[in-house]
Amino acid sequence: MTALDLSSPVAVVGTGTMGQGIAQVALVAGHPVRLYDAAPGRAREAADAIGARLDRLVEKDRLTGAERDAARARLTPAESLAGLAGCGLVVEAVVERLDVKQELFRALEDVVGDDCLLATNTSSLSVTAVGGALREPGRFVGLHFFNPAPLLPLVEVVSGFATDPASATRAYETARAWGKTPVACADTPGFVVNRIARPFYAEALAVFENQGADPATVDAVLRESGGFRMGAFELTDLIGQDVNESVTHSVWQAFFQDVRFTPSLAQRRLVESGRLGRKSGQGWYDYRDGAERPRPHTAEPAEAPAYVVVEGDLGPAAGLVGLIREAGVEVRPKDGYDDGGRLVLPGGGTLRLTDGEPLGSKDVVHFDLALDYRAATRIALSASEEVRPGLLSEATGLFQALGKEVSVVGDVPGMIVARTVARIIDLAFDAVARGVATPEDVDTAMRLGVNYPLGPFEWSRRLGDTWAYYLLVQAHEWEPSGRWAPSLALRRHANAAEAREGTPS
């Protein structure tokens, strides 16, 4: 099944920001486009707005004047649903209410031909439920664009329970012909991106709620150590706290209140207070004129240790050894340590990559995971309240000697980056095991849909096949609420990896 022919008209119902964006994508791709909105005059206003955006594309040399004029000639506001007769594809982008969408598609079935593909851009409702109102649900699919649709490349092509595979294939190929990067997925709460991305927000909020770190520090660590483009608090301020909280709540409810998706009370209170983020002027941060952005916690300068003893394999942090040598700190290797890897400091205390256990020892400082320890500009450290005097200072001085800012955070399992990445990996394995999408499509979706520096499966390969599993096991032992319990899919993956290595658990 090939993509929709360019001569076939595409209709967009609903002319808000998303509807206009989808219409622009189809229009620039070469289709005739018809716009419809139930509010009188709204479709004409949307057509004018799209025309203005085409003008800006010409100014930026992304379209020629002739291409703009041809596109404008193909754009038609429709006065009624009857004006959509003869379209080959209708994409709906109306309010996120199941009854409204079902009523719309029932009406569309009486207008369009039997070969017309019907699609919803819903991000939170079940595609199966929306299509369940149709006489012919086999031609119904989800086409979930990301905002702004003309700029973001990802489109989730969602097959409902009754979707005909040929319809899904046509939708997939059409999105690709429009210059997008489609990923195929089953109809599951949150689809791919909004399902697997939940821990990015949830773990940051949990660290905050447990007094582990303030929002500015969490965001700085996620950016400067984890390699994420934005921190969780600044990103939810950009999205809108009400929107982000609503999606979280929707996914949680759709999964029958699965504890892994539990919403945050702190975020609920923020929404109730009207602090919705950038759009309201205040969220986790203050965006009003003259407001000062809070700074992340950064440790005062400390003296670097003269040497470190490296015992065992540091695993994902192995690159630190070379950096320590380059910084002029003597490295003394020592064999015979088989309980993971650690750095022993001159005062006798140890530095270890967080493994999911909270601290309780006066002799240990944990450091957080980094996407790339060489490129990272900030490292988080954590120590118990009983830590031996001078040990935290030695650890701080070591990382400062490597050119890193240091943030000391509270004693929370998995710290910040490590817990976030481990839970993202777990949800990704779980989604693939349940037939939601392929590993390749999951990685593509998370890189393109939310700008993650790596896809979850790329992360798993880089960190080691058992890393995320054992971090979650340790954290679950300390907090057995279920939110940390690794999925069956991740457990199987870790067991298979250990069997290949000849060390079954």
Q: Which of 31, 144, 366, 493 is catalytic?
A: 144
CB 307 within 8 A of CB 397: no
Residue position matching structure tokens 């409702």: 125
Taking CA atoms, 41 is separated from 44, 77, 95, 192, 433, in Å, by: 5, 9, 18, 36, 47
Q: Six-digit token pair at 398?
A: 């070591």
Question: How many C-beta neighbours within 10 Å does residue 27 have?
Answer: 26
Separation of alpha carbons 463 and 72, rounded Å: 50
CB 172 within 8 A of CB 89: no
144 catalytic residue (yes or no):
yes
Q: Exposure of 213 by Cβ count < 10 A (0-12 exposed, 13-18 middle, 19+ buried)? A: buried
Separation of alpha carbons 431 and 11, rounded Å: 32
Number of H helices and E strands in the chain, helices first, is 19, 15
Lay out the sheet containing 330-334: strands in order across. Answer: 330-334, 307-311, 342-344, 350-353, 364-367, 378-383, 405-409
Q: Strand 181-186 and strand 140-145: pairing?
A: unpaired
Q: Which amino acid is located at 403 in the chain?
A: G
Taking CA atoms, 133 is separated from 36, 89, 165, 289, 499, in Å, by: 21, 18, 19, 49, 49
Helix (H, G, I), strand (E, B) or coil at 309: strand
156 catalytic residue (yes or no):
yes
3-state helix vs strand vs coil in the chain, percent to 5: 45, 15, 40
Helix (H, G, I), strand (E, B) or coil at 143: strand
Q: Which of 121, 123, 126, 159 is catalytic?
A: 123
476 catalytic residue (yes or no):
no
Q: Six-digit token pair at 200?
A: 């990015």
Helix (H, G, I), strand (E, B) or coil at 279: helix
Q: Which of 194, 250, 264, 382 is catalytic?
A: 194
7 catalytic residue (yes or no):
no
CB 390 within 8 A of CB 473: no
Separation of alpha carbons 437 and 433, rounded Å: 9
Q: Which of 92, 121, 124, 156 is catalytic?
A: 156
Catalytic residues: 123, 144, 156, 194
